[in-house]
Amino acid sequence: MIEIDPLMGLRMINDGSVSLLSTRREGKTNVSTVSWQMPLSQDPPMLGISLTPSCLSNELLRESGEFVLSIPDASLIAETHYCGTHRGDSEDKVRSMQFRTMRARKVIPLLVTNCIGHLECAVRDVYPFGDRLFYASRVVAALVEEDYFDNGWNENAQTLHHLGGDRYKTGGGILDAKKWPLPQQMPNLPPLF
Ligand SMILES: Cc1cc2nc3c(=O)[nH]c(=O)nc-3n(C[C@H](O)[C@H](O)[C@H](O)COP(=O)(O)O)c2cc1C
């Protein structure tokens, strides 16, 4: 695992992949699943996550103001779905999922090292939107597994995308826009009016 620039790290969520949200209180780490996350700013590097107020992750986040987003690949589909469908106040999901963890560089919550990338975040502002709370947060450190990332996810990174309910999508090739130029000549279109 290597540390990369937080701005480059934001590319980990460019593809809208599902992530695991790690929060911590008094030595206990909780992991839940989020798919409503987005890059917000380049300078400083920031991202936002949208959370249900009633979940344990929200409670821990309100207290500590810190979290880690770890990006699972398709091999973790069962664990990812489980963490998104079970509450952390009645069980220790790190233990029941047999997650491996490691200390983060700059925040208290742990990294789930089964994942292929990690964004360490500190909350800047919280905004209520409808039934959610939106956490606008600074990315303070980013780490990635080298084999999966070349200035963005490469073909090895089979990230997970949530379609809704129990269904996910992964795979699909990578297209390099430089290899797909516009046609040299646009067809002669008839005038609109
Ligand atoms: C694929 C997937 C994506 C999810 N995305 C979000 C999300 O973006 N925000 C949210 O509040 N809950 C989301 N959830 C639901 C939470 O993960 C779920 O409520 C979880 O049980 C909360 O756990 P906790 O109580 O331990 O925090 C998602 C669930 C799944 C399965």
Q: How far is CA 184 from the centre of its chain?
A: 39
User: Taking every pair of C-alpha atoms in the chain, what is the biggest distance, in angstroms?
Assistant: 69
> How far, in Å, is the centroid of ligand 1 from the Cα of 137?
18
Residue range 2-168 in CATH 3.30.70.120 = no
- Given this model, what pLDDT does residue 184 score? 67
- Given this model, what pLDDT does residue 58 score? 97
At 74, phi and psi to the nearest 5?
-60, -25
Long-range contacts of 74-82 (CB under 8 A, 24+ apart): 74/158, 74/159, 74/160, 74/168, 74/170, 74/171, 75/158, 76/114, 76/115, 76/160, 77/160, 77/168, 79/114, 80/18, 80/20, 80/33, 80/160, 80/168, 81/33, 81/166, 81/168
- Given this model, what pLDDT does residue 192 score? 67
Segments in the chain below pLDDT 70? 184-187, 192-193
| Three-class secondary structure of residue 82 per DSSP | helix
| 3-state percent helix, strand, coil for the chain, nearest multiple of 5 | 20, 40, 40
> How far, in Å, is the centroid of ligand 1 from the Cα of 58?
10
Ligand 1 atom closest to residue 49's alpha carbon, by position in its atom list? 8
At 107, phi and psi to the nearest 5?
-130, 165
Ligand 1 atom closest to residue 132's alpha carbon, by position in its atom list? 11
Q: What is the pTM of this model?
A: 0.94
Q: Select from 60, 135, 134 the least CA-distant residue to 93.
A: 60
Ligand 1 atom closest to residue 54's alpha carbon, by position in its atom list? 25
Tell me the pLDDT tens digit for each residue of 129-169. 999 999 999 999 999 999 999 999 999 999 999 999 999 99
